[in-house]
C-alpha cells in the first residue's frame, strides 16, 4: 500500500510538472495555431541556433521529409505504418496536435513521454530565453532530440507551413515528398499555385530523390526546375503507381494497385476512407518504392506493407481524419480546413447513404469562408460553434455567413454543445459530421 501511494504521488507530481511545462510553452511562446500570423517566423535562424546548441540532433537519424497543401499528414502516417509493420524503429513528427501536445512526436505510435517534455524544457529554458524561438521551433527541436535519443531507424517528418522556410527544413532526408499543391496560407506562401509550389519545392535537397504526388500543369515546371537545380532525381507518383478502388466501408477501403502497369497488390485493405486517401496511398507507395531503389538497406516486404495499411490507425494512433466516433447514429469527424480539403470531404459526404445529414461546423477567424461554405449542401441541418481557441470564429458570425449560402441552423456556445444538440435531433439512420477546422475536431475526438 505504501508503494502504491508513493507511485500515485510521483504520478501526480509528473502530471503537475507536465501541465506547468505546457503552460510555459503555450503562454510565453507564440503558437501559430492559436494566435495566427504573429507566430510565423520567416527564416531558419532560430531553429539552426537551437539545434546547433543541442548538438544537431537532426543529423543523427535518417529521415523522410513531407510537404504539401493537403494529404501530407495522411501520407506521413501511411509511410510510418508501413515502416513500423516492417519492424523498423519509426519516428513520426506531425502537426498540429488535437488534444495532447505529445501527439506531435511519436516513436512506433507511442507519444513522447511527459517526463521527456518536462526534462527538455527545464534543461533548455535558458537557451529558449536567449534565442526566443517560436512554439513550433521548440516542438521541432524536441522531436529531433527525442528521435536521436531513441535511435530511430527512420523518422517521417511532416512540415508545418510551406517548406522552404519551415523549421523542419534543416533535415537532410533520404527522400523528399510533396503531396499536392492547393490554395492555403496565401498570406505566407503566395496567391498563385506556382508561387505556393515554389515554397513547397524548398524541401528538395541536392542529389536527393523527390516524389511529387500529383502532376499539375501549373506546378510541374516549378518542381522540375528546382529538381534540376539541385540535381535531384524527380518522380511523379501518379505516373507510375495506379490504384483502383474496389470496396469501401466506414473505416476501410480496398484497392488493387499496379506499378508501371504491372500488378503490385490485389485486395489491399487500407484503414482509411475516401477518394482523397486514394491519392495519398499512391504517393506513399511511390515513396516507399523510390526509397528502396536509392536505399536498398531498407527491406520493405509486401506482407509488412499490407499489415501496416490494414491496421494503420491502431499502430500509429492516427486520429482526426475521417474518424468514426460512434455508429448509432454515425458520428464522424474530419479536420480538413482548406478549400481543396473541404471540397473533397463534402463530396465524400454526398456519396454516403443516410436519412438526414447534420453538420457541426466551426472555423478559425482568418479562413476565407466564402470558398469554404460554398461546398456544403443546403439540405443539411447546421449547428454552428466557436472552437475554444483565440482564433476561433464567433458562432453567430459563422451562422450569418452560412445563411448567405443557404446553410440554415443555430449557433451554439461550444462545439460539444452543438454536437449534443445534433445527437438529440438525429435519428439512428442519420449522419452527423463534425468539421471545419482542426480545433473543432480536437474538441470531440
pLDDT band at 69 (very low <50, low <70, confident <90, very high): confident
pLDDT in tens, 143-195: 999 999 999 999 999 999 778 999 999 999 999 999 988 755 444 454 588 88
Picking from 227, 237, 239, 238, the residue whose alpha carbon sits closest to that of residue 203 is 227
Please give the CATH topology (third level) of the domain spanning 323-442. Answer: 3.90.190
C-alpha cell at 203: 524541401
Picking from 436, 439, 371, 442, the residue whose alpha carbon sits closest to that of residue 409 is 436
DSSP character at residue 84: H
First CA to last CA distance, the chain: 35
11-316 shares its CATH topology with 323-442: no
For domain 11-316, the CATH superfamily is Mur-like, catalytic domain (3.40.1190.10)
Order of strands, sheet of 253-259, starting from the edge strand that comes earlier in the sequence: 241-248, 253-259, 262-270
pLDDT in tens, 203-252: 999 999 999 999 998 899 999 999 999 999 999 999 999 999 998 888 89
Q: Please, are residues 213 and 169 in contact by the beta-carbon 8 Å criterion? A: no
pLDDT in tens, 317-354: 999 988 999 999 999 999 887 787 898 899 989 989 99
Q: How many Cβ atoms sit within 10 Å of the Cβ of residue 269?
A: 18
Three-class SS state of 37: helix
CA angle 50, 64, 75 (to 5 degrees): 115
Give the start-to-end residue ranges of the domains of the chain. 11-316, 323-442
Amino acid at each position: 500500500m505504501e508503494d502504491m501511494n508513493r507511485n500515485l504521488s510521483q504520478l501526480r507530481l509528473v502530471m503537475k510538472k507536465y501541465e506547468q511545462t505546457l503552460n510555459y510553452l503555450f503562454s510565453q511562446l507564440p503558437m501559430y495555431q492559436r494566435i495566427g500570423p504573429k507566430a510565423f517566423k520567416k527564416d531558419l535562424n532560430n531553429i539552426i541556433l537551437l539545434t546547433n546548441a543541442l548538438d544537431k540532433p537532426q543529423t543523427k537519424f535518417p529521415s523522410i521529409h513531407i510537404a504539401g497543401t493537403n494529404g501530407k499528414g495522411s501520407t506521413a502516417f501511411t509511410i510510418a505504418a508501413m515502416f513500423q509493420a516492417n519492424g523498423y524503429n519509426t519516428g513520426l513528427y506531425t502537426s498540429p496536435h488535437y488534444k495532447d501536445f505529445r501527439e506531435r512526436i511519436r516513436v512506433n505510435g507511442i507519444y513522447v513521454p511527459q517526463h521527456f517534455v518536462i526534462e527538455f524544457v527545464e534543461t533548455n529554458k535558458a537557451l529558449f530565453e536567449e534565442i526566443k524561438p517560436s512554439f513550433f521551433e521548440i516542438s521541432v527541436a524536441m522531436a529531433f532530440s527525442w528521435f536521436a535519443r531513441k535511435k530511430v531507424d527512420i523518422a517521417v517528418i511532416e512540415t508545418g507551413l510551406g517548406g522552404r522556410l519551415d523549421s523542419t527544413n534543416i533535415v537532410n532526408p533520404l527522400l523528399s515528398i510533396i503531396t499536392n499543391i492547393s490554395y492555403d496560407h496565401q498570406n505566407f506562401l503566395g496567391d498563385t499555385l506556382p508561387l505556393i509550389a515554389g515554397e513547397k519545392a524548398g524541401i528538395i535537397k541536392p542529389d536527393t530523390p523527390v516524389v511529387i504526388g500529383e502532376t499539375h500543369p501549373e506546378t510541374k515546371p516549378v518542381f522540375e526546375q528546382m529538381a534540376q537545380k539541385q540535381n535531384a532525381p524527380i518522380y511523379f507518383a501518379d505516373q507510375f503507381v495506379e490504384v483502383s478502388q474496389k470496396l469501401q466501408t466506414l473505416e476501410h477501403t480496398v484497392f488493387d494497385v499496379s506499378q508501371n502497369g504491372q500488378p503490385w497488390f490485389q485486395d489491399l485493405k487500407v484503414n482509411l476512407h475516401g477518394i482523397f486517401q486514394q491519392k495519398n496511398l499512391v504517393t506513399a507507395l511511390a515513396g516507399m518504392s523510390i526509397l528502396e531503389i536509392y536505399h536498398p538497406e531498407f527491406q520493405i516486404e509486401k506482407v509488412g506493407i499490407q499489415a501496416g495499411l490494414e491496421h494503420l490507425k491502431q499502430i500509429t494512433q492516427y486520429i482526426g481524419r475521417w474518424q468514426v466516433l460512434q455508429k448509432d447514429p454515425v458520428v464522424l469527424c474530419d479536420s480538413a480546413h482548406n478549400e481543396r480539403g473541404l471540397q473533397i470531404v463534402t463530396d465524400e459526404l454526398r456519396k454516403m447513404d443516410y436519412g438526414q445529414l447534420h453538420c457541426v461546423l466551426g472555423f478559425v477567424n482568418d479562413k476565407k469562408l466564402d470558398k469554404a461554405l460554398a461546398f456544403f449542401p443546403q439540405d443539411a441541418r447546421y449547428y454552428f460553434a466557436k472552437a475554444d481557441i483565440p482564433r476561433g470564429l464567433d458562432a453567430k458570425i459563422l451562422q450569418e455567413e452560412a445563411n448567405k449560402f443557404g446553410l440554415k441552423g443555430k449557433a451554439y456556445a461550444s462545439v460539444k454543445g452543438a454536437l449534443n444538440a445534433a445527437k438529440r435531433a438525429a435519428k439512428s439512420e442519420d449522419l452527423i459530421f463534425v468539421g471545419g477546422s482542426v480545433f473543432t475536431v480536437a474538441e470531440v475526438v
